[in-house]
């Protein structure tokens, strides 16, 4: 998504469009993963600083360079040994990073060539050892992989002997123990299940925690904060029930590996404004500038297959009528004046001044699956005449309603609709008249998760004050958004259920 967003901002900038700001000002870097841990009767904070690199998000794909990995390793070691604040001084300059003193930039410029040379030397040594290993395999045959697994079992056993008792009594030892136990169990599981030769598909059907338990992970590890954070971040709970976690082992291994080893610049980015203003609005403006026509307030009611089981017709309800009679004339964006300038934003409700119908009272969400608002005009789109290909950008849970004929005809579509489920989520935004410092948070802005159910994930949104309009005497000093899974049926009730 960042690659596309970068392209959009650059294209708009080349055309002189500055309504959304610039790409390098649209994102805020986040490098601190903060995990809550209920330990010995109270909530403890486990701050986990993640190193940054010089790669620009959206500008490159794939893995990083050897010097970047060496730099990140040094940052991580310094942060863990000397603290987060000291480790931050080692971060390289990046388009989205914080401003640094000139003297620090100078020191980093002097040290950077040594890090680059050392990184490439280590990379060359690694390639040499890898090739040497291949030659030894050719001479002596394949190794006994189970012997390698036994080696990691021995390391895990030593870890348990040294720290197992202390891990249940001291938080610091708990962290050392669970990280070591997790790393060894991962290697044992990957080797025993022959993932290096057969691929991650062999463990994809297995639930992640169950897979770790199958290969001997400690109970402390299975429910460690970094495991809970992964489940909470993607709301991996069947029907939103925290007692029914369900996350694929194969997907987890692949996702965590890519997330930790291939991120560009910073581990995560937060939008400076809301999604509609930072991502959707610029994409809309860019596509419109290319000549794409948009017809908003059109709701799909039925998807009809043809004789070849391809989508042949789409029945659509036009929810509202434009005052000028042109259904493609609606302009969703409006100007918002803030202390930092005037920007195009995506409003939180329809711009009724362009619409012929009177706003409903009480207000209704026309985007809701359960809206009782119905338009008077219906449109039928036909294959070969109105479209060639269709992007089914609808939740799978709505397919039984919108695509009943297609599911009846196609076994593949029916299997997908019956076996691919979603999880509803819930969010709540909180506004405070005290700053984060005053509320007790003194660390950098984090990504925080694994807290109390149901709102186990917290996000700081205090920066939104800069792009919103607030009364001078009633501007919030801190804004927080909390998020979590919502207990709800796996498949949504039909439209007429409410």
**Residues belonging to the chain:** 498
List, edge to edge, every strand of the sheet that includes 298-305: 298-305, 311-318, 377-382
Whole-angstrom Cα Rg for the chain = 27
Task: Give the per-residue pLDDT at 179.
Answer: 92
Q: Distance (Å, rounded) from C-alpha 345 to C-alpha 271?
A: 13
Please tell me the predicted confidence (pLDDT) of residue 450.
Answer: 92
pLDDT at res. 131: 61
Residue that wins the pLDDT comparison between 54 and 231: 231
Kindly tell me the burial class for residue 232, based on how many C-beta atoms sit within 10 Å of its own C-beta (0-12, 13-18, 19 or more).
buried
Asked whether the CA dihedral 280, 283, 284, 285 is positive or negative, the reply is: positive
Is the pLDDT at 99 greater than 70? The verdict is no
**81 pLDDT more than 80:** no
Burial 394-425 (b: 16+ CB within 10 A, else e): eebbbbebbbeebbeebeebbeebeeeeebbe
Q: Per residue in 85-115, is it b (16+ CB within 10 Å) or e — as a string?
A: eebbebbbebbbbeebeeeeeeebeeeeeeb
- Per-residue pLDDT for 472 more than 80? yes
pLDDT band at 493 (very low <50, low <70, confident <90, very high): confident
pLDDT band at 339 (very low <50, low <70, confident <90, very high): confident
| Number of C-beta neighbours around residue 468 at 10 A | 17
Confidence of residue 180 (pLDDT cuts 50, 70, 90): very high
Who contacts 185 (Cβ-Cβ below 8 Å, separation ≥6)? 156, 212, 215, 216, 217, 221
pLDDT of residue 42: 92
Asked if pLDDT for residue 150 goes beyond 90, the answer is no
Show the tokens assigned to 313.
Answer: 């017709």
Nearest CA among 175, 237, 230, 181 for reference residue 37: 175
CA torsion angle for 209, 188, 61, 35 (degrees, to 10)?
A: 40
The DSSP secondary structure of 87-138, one letter per residue, reads HHTTPPP-TTSPP--HHHHHHHHHHHHHHHHHHHHHHHHHHHHHHHHHHHHH
Helix (H, G, I), strand (E, B) or coil at 405: helix
- Of residues 274 and 494, the one with the higher pLDDT is 274
Q: Which residues, other chains included, contact 498 with Cβ-Cβ below 8 Å and sequence gap of 6+? A: 370
**How much is the pLDDT for 418?**
85
DSSP state of 58: T
Region 108-124: mean pLDDT is 64
Give the mean pLDDT of 82-100.
57
User: The tokens of 153 are what?
Assistant: 């079992």
- DSSP of 267-292: SEEEESS-HIIIIIHHHHHHHHHTT-
Band of the pLDDT at 469, cuts 50, 70, 90? confident
CB contact at 8 A, 227 and 46 = no
Least confident of 141-145, 150-154, 177-181: 141-145
Q: State the pLDDT confidence band at 351, using cuts at 50, 70 and 90.
A: very high
pLDDT digits (tens, 9 = 90+) for 19-70: 888 888 888 888 888 999 999 999 999 988 888 888 888 776 678 878 788 8
Lowest mean pLDDT across 33-47, 111-125, 252-266: 111-125
User: 49-63, 159-173, 424-438, 447-461: which has the minimum mean pLDDT?
Assistant: 49-63
Instruction: Determine the pLDDT at residue 1.
Output: 75
- Cα separation, 250 vs 202, whole angstroms: 8
Average pLDDT over the chain, rounded to an integer: 85
* pLDDT at residue number 100: 56
pLDDT at 107 over 90: no
pLDDT computed for residue 83 by the predictor: 62
Mean pLDDT of 440-457: 90
Q: Degrees (nearest 5) of the Cα angle 206, 211, 215?
A: 145
Quick one: pLDDT at residue 447? 87
> How many CA within 13 A on the CB side of residue 258?
8
Asked whether residue 489 carries a pLDDT value surpassing 90, the answer given is no
Question: Is residue 130 scored above 60 in pLDDT?
Answer: no
Q: Which pLDDT score is estimated for 320?
A: 94
Q: Give the mean pLDDT of 372-391.
A: 92
pLDDT score for 132: 58
* pLDDT at residue 158 greater than cutoff 60: yes
pLDDT value of residue 379: 93
pLDDT surpassing 80 at residue 129: no
Q: How confident is residue 259, by pLDDT bands cut at 50, 70 and 90? A: confident
314: pLDDT confidence band, cut at 50, 70 and 90? very high
């Amino acid at each position: 998504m960042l690659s596309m967003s970068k392209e959009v901002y650059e294209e708009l900038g080349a055309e002189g469009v500055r309504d959304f700001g610039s790409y390098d000002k649209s994102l805020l870097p986040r490098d601190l993963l903060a995990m809550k841990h209920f330990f010995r009767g109270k909530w403890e904070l486990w701050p986990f600083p993640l190193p940054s690199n010089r790669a620009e998000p959206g500008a490159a794909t794939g893995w990083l360079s050897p010097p970047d990995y060496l730099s990140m390793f040094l940052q991580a070691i310094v942060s863990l040994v000397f603290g987060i604040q000291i480790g931050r001084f080692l971060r390289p300059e990046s388009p989205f990073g914080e401003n640094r003193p000139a003297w620090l930039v100078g020191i980093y410029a002097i040290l950077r060539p040594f890090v680059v040379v050392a990184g490439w030397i280590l990379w060359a040594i690694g390639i040499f050892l890898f090739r040497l290993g291949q030659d030894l395999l050719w001479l002596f045959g394949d190794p006994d992989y189970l012997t390698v697994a036994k080696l990691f079992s021995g390391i895990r056993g030593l870890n348990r002997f040294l720290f197992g008792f202390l891990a249940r009594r001291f938080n610091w030892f708990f962290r050392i123990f669970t990280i070591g136990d997790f790393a060894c169990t991962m290697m044992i599981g990957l080797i025993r299940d022959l993932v290096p030769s057969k691929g991650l598909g062999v463990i994809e059907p297995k639930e992640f925690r169950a897979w770790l338990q199958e290969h001997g992970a400690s109970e402390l590890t299975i429910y460690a904060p970094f495991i809970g954070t992964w489940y909470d971040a993607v709301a991996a709970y069947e029907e939103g029930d925290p007692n029914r976690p369900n996350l694929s082992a194969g997907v987890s291994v692949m996702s965590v590996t890519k997330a930790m080893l291939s991120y560009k610049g910073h581990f995560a980015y937060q939008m400076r404004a809301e999604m509609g203003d930072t991502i959707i609005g610029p994409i809309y403006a860019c596509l419109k500038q290319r000549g794409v026509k948009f017809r908003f307030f059109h709701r799909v009611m039925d998807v009809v297959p043809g004789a070849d089981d391809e989508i042949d017709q789409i029945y659509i309800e036009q929810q509202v009528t434009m005052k000028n009679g042109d259904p493609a004339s609606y302009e969703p964006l409006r100007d918002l004046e803030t202390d930092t300038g005037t920007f195009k934003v995506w409003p939180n409700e329809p711009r009724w001044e362009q619409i012929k119908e009177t706003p409903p009272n009480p207000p209704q969400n026309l985007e809701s699956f359960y809206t009782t608002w119905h338009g008077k005009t219906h449109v039928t789109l036909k294959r070969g005449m109105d479209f060639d290909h269709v992007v089914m950008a609808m939740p799978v849970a709505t397919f039984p309603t919108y695509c009943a004929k297609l599911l009846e005809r196609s076994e593949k579509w029916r299997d997908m609709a019956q076996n691919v489920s979603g999880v509803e989520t819930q969010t709540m935004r909180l506004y405070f008249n005290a700053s984060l410092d005053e509320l007790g948070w003194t660390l950098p802005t984090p990504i925080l998760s694994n807290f109390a159910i149901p709102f186990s994930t917290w996000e700081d949104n205090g920066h939104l004050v800069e792009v919103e309009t607030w009364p001078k005497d009633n501007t919030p000093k801190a804004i927080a958004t909390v998020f979590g899974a919502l207990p709800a049926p796996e498949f949504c009730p039909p439209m007429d259920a409410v």
